[in-house]
Structure 1
Amino acid sequence: MKAVQFSDHGDRSVIDYGEFPDPTPDRDEVLVDVKAGALNHLDVWTRKGLPGVELEMPHVPGSDGAGVVLEVGEDVTRFEPGDRVAVSAGVYCGKCEYCRHGEYSMCVNYHIIGEHVRGVHSERAAVPEDNLVEVPSGVEWETAAAAPLVFQTAWRMLLTRGNVSPGEDVLVLGASGGVGHAAVQIADYAGANVYATASSEEKLEYAEEVGADYTIDYEAEDFASRIRDLTGKRGVDVVVDHVGAATWRDSLASLAKGGRVLTCGATTGGTPETDINRIFWNQLKVIGSTMANPGEVDDVLELVWDGTFEPRIRETLPMSETARAHEMLEEREGFGKVVVVPDSEYDG
């Protein structure tokens, strides 16, 4: 089969699309004929190399994918050949203290398909049964591939960890990205007043289309100052900041007293300067979140499948152009998710 792969960490030139050994499913795995995959910013970090993460090389990236079941291992009970499935990339042990209490995304052995182990951006992939969800027949492959990681992440971050409630003011940074555009929709679904930042008029218009009430071009004006103006100097109740170092101090400055900042990532760096005085004086809360538990995945994907939430697709490319897909993420081009499909499936 053919697969996206790299044998060394580095810039986009290390990405190749070529022959790779066919996967053989283990007893608890399902062999999937991949119809589409989608990129996340973690694919960029994985390619560049993550501290403390040793990968088997060559590495196949990709945490999001969807396709048709070809074969199942002898212990698999939930799927059979012909089923339509999508990947939910979080792998947990099921045995540690957090798993025993149902907090699977806090598992001490937690890892992510595509980031820590072989991913699914290939013509076929062997995936653990527990990491697959059923995809209804009316859902397009691009939607099924693009939704799971970002929507489950935003759902848990806002509703479970952040406890966003109707009438609250929520600021979503980087609303044009995968997690960002999912967070805008989920905050709107929760009944919040949604403020969103992006870097162009086109992106801001898209943010409004998916649920933002107020938009801010962060390249044209200081978003913290603008939030103060829009809220009568009060600030917002919640900031969704997956950007990190470049925005952290302004995120804290955008919060009302007793507000909370929610974070699930740091695309511009994970060690920002911070304002501890502001945190304790304004009694702010910093809340971290990673991926989601299986029940949360089911809840949010049901709302994707029925059309309540819409994963926006900025572009669909053949897997042989995955380097270009990485460029789109790194250069912040477009709104929503970038999808890649096996060249044998690509119809232009």
Structure 2
Amino acid sequence: MKAITLNSAQQSKLLLTDVQTRSLLPGEVRVLIKAAALNHRDEWCRQGLYPNIKDGVILGSDGAGIVSEIGEGVDYELLQKEVIINPALNWGDNQKVQGSSFEILGMPRNGTLAESVIVPADRLYSKPAHLTWEEAAALPLAGLTAYRAVTYQGNIQPGENLLVTGFGGGVAQFAVQFGLALGANVSTSSSSPEKLEKAKALGVSTTFNYLDHNWISKANEDTNGFDLIIDGAVGDTLNHLIQVAKPGGKIVFYGATLGNPTKLEARKIFWNQLKIMGTTMGSDLDFKNMLSFVSEKKLQPVIDQVFRFDQAEEAFDRMRDGKQMGKIVLVP
């Protein structure tokens, strides 16, 4: 089968090649991929910035397709079913945090950027009927991360003020959509006027360009602060977020693309009784609830662009350069 693998000998670090498939083990299924989607972790693997990376592994965590083969012990009714794949493996029984054996599909285990993928049968869920294959493929990792951040960690309530930073990436656009569907007053930030216009089209009430040195004072004037802030950058911008959080508010971060802050406004954190917490991916319960919520509200992922597998380098470069507005999808 054709697959996109990590290959350090290539200038692009990517290789579209024929990969030998294997027989199924008990409890496994083979899914013919109809569409797959990129996440930042795929680009970090390409750059060698992700732990335990190795050449030859098929990249990709997100995917949707049709079950073509089932292993021993798997319910026969799964065969030919249209499914979406939960890429979170071995979360464990603790809803609060993932277990020590937790991993994500696509490194070190072969992922979804292939004509087919083998996964445990319990990673499969019915594809939401209102979604296209491309939309379904765009949902799993970023949707799960955003849903847990907004609901389980953030516990956003109707009428509360929510700020989602860095609008344009997958998690941020899902967090915006989930917040709006839950009745929050949603604001977002970006350095791109075009992305902020897209946010307004989705129903965002207030937007901020974080390159504007007055954005903090404007945010406090326009909203009186935020009950919940969802962020994926951290770095020294964390202190900016502390300044726009309401007393008693929460800052939930799912990534740290800007690294660690060089200083921390500790006094404001304790005096305003702020809660700063991390989050990543989500449990099987989170995934199930996220899919139910998306189906109930008929939410549709924002698709940036669809590429063929033989255009993988172009797709990865688009993510690397931060040009995307929504999810980048690839099809075999």
Q: Same fold (TM over 0.5)?
A: yes
Alpha-carbon shift at residue 221 of structure 1 (Å): 4.4
Q: Give the corresponding residue for 1:3.
A: 3
Q: Give the corresponding residue for 1:345.
A: none
Q: Give the corresponding residue for 1:133.
A: 125
Superimposed CA distance per residue, residues 99-142 of structure 1 (whole angstroms, 9 cap, x where no aligned partner): 1x455x52222111114422111111101112111114553110
Query: Is 2:322 the partner of 1:332?
Result: yes
Superimposed CA distance per residue, residues 134-168 of structure 1 (whole angstroms, 9 cap, x where no aligned partner): 11455311011001111111111111111111111
8 Å Cα contact 2:189-2:196 kept in structure 1: yes
Query: Is 2:221 the partner of 1:229?
Result: yes
Q: Give the corresponding residue for 1:153.
A: 145
Q: Give the corresponding residue for 1:261.
A: 251
Segments of structure 1 that go 5 or more residues without pairing to the other structure are: 343-348
Shifted more, 158-167 versus 203-212: the winner is 203-212
Q: Give the corresponding residue for 1:341.
A: 331
Whole-Å separation in 1 of the counterparts to 2:130 and 2:245: 41
Alpha-carbon shift at residue 181 of structure 1 (Å): 0.5
SS of the residue corresponding to residue 8 of structure 2 reads coil
Whole-Å separation in 1 of the counterparts to 2:142 and 2:262: 23
Whole-Å separation in 1 of the counterparts to 2:206 and 2:141: 26
SS of the residue corresponding to residue 114 of structure 1 reads coil
Query: Is 2:199 the partner of 1:207?
Result: yes
Query: Is 2:19 the partner of 1:29?
Result: no
Alpha-carbon shift at residue 296 of structure 1 (Å): 2.2
Whole-Å separation in 2 of the counterparts to 1:172 and 1:93: 26
8 Å Cα contact 1:69-1:85 kept in structure 2: yes
Structure 1 segments of 4+ aligned residues over 4 angstroms from their partners: none
CA gap of 1:93–1:330, structure 2 versus 1, over 3 A, is closer
Give 1:27's aligned amino acid: P
Whole-Å separation in 2 of the counterparts to 1:45 and 1:37: 17
Q: Give the corresponding residue for 1:299.
A: 289
Whole-Å separation in 2 of the counterparts to 1:164 and 1:185: 13
TM-score between the two structures when normalised by the length of structure 1? 0.88
8 Å Cα contact 2:237-2:261 kept in structure 1: no
8 Å Cα contact 2:231-2:254 kept in structure 1: yes
The within-5 A match list for 1:155-234 is 155-231=147-223, 234=224
SS of the residue corresponding to residue 318 of structure 2 reads helix
Segments of structure 2 that go 5 or more residues without pairing to the other structure are: none
Alpha-carbon shift at residue 210 of structure 1 (Å): 2.1
8 Å Cα contact 2:4-2:59 kept in structure 1: yes
Aligned length: 332
Alpha-carbon shift at residue 333 of structure 1 (Å): 1.0
- When the two chains are superposed, the root-mean-square deviation of aligned CA atoms in Å is 2.1
TM-score between the two structures when normalised by the length of structure 2? 0.93
% same residue: 33
Give 2:220's aligned amino acid: R
Whole-Å separation in 1 of the counterparts to 2:257 and 2:76: 36
SS of the residue corresponding to residue 315 of structure 1 reads strand
